[in-house]
Amino acid sequence: MMKGFILILTLALSGIAFCQSDTPDGSASLILPDYESALIETSAIFTTTSSGPASCGASSTDDVFYEFTAVNPGVEFVLNSGQFDGVLDLWDAGLTSLECINTAAGIGEEQMWFTQLVPGDTYYLRIHSADGVSGTGDFNLEYRSLPTRELAANYQTTSIDGDPFRIFDFLRLSLIHI
């Protein structure tokens, strides 16, 4: 009987530990996967409180935060929701916004490539709606790390946030999202 109680208590506490948060201090953790593979987090904004002012020209302040430790200099986030116009806002450990993306007009996909992370440092990803949430605010967040690649002399490159990437790698990652 006692073992059953301990098992249920352990499961309940572990479920709480992986829930999303509406404040940076209680953020759910993301573990960034390798460059070649992406993970998907499915969650919802629900009726969270505001943790910061609206950003990227948005008017709504409902938000959730995810905390992660950089393993490479780059990261890619792709946000999809059929219930709100999403905003991706990347913060450093000092809670300063490093990059804010709100490019889709209305409901649509938001994609962020950021290539100036310091491996080992803590960062926060803030997800909020641009103009309010309908329904529960369900969303999918796809994420992966983007390591800097050494470039051979014969590779053509493109620039993302000022850092060079091989055009082949950029096209391959772009085609994943078509």
Q: What is the pLDDT of residue 18?
A: 41
Cα–Cα separations (whole angstroms), residue 41 to 28, 96, 125, 141: 11, 24, 13, 5
State pLDDT tens for residues 43-99.
887 655 557 777 888 887 778 889 999 988 899 999 999 888 889 999 999 989 999
Query: What is the pLDDT averaged over residues 15-34?
Result: 62
Q: How many CB atoms lie within 10 A of CB 63?
A: 24
Cα(67)–Cα(99) distance, integer angstroms: 15
Q: Closest Cα partner for 117 from 68, 78, 164, 79?
A: 68
Mean residue pLDDT across the chain:
74
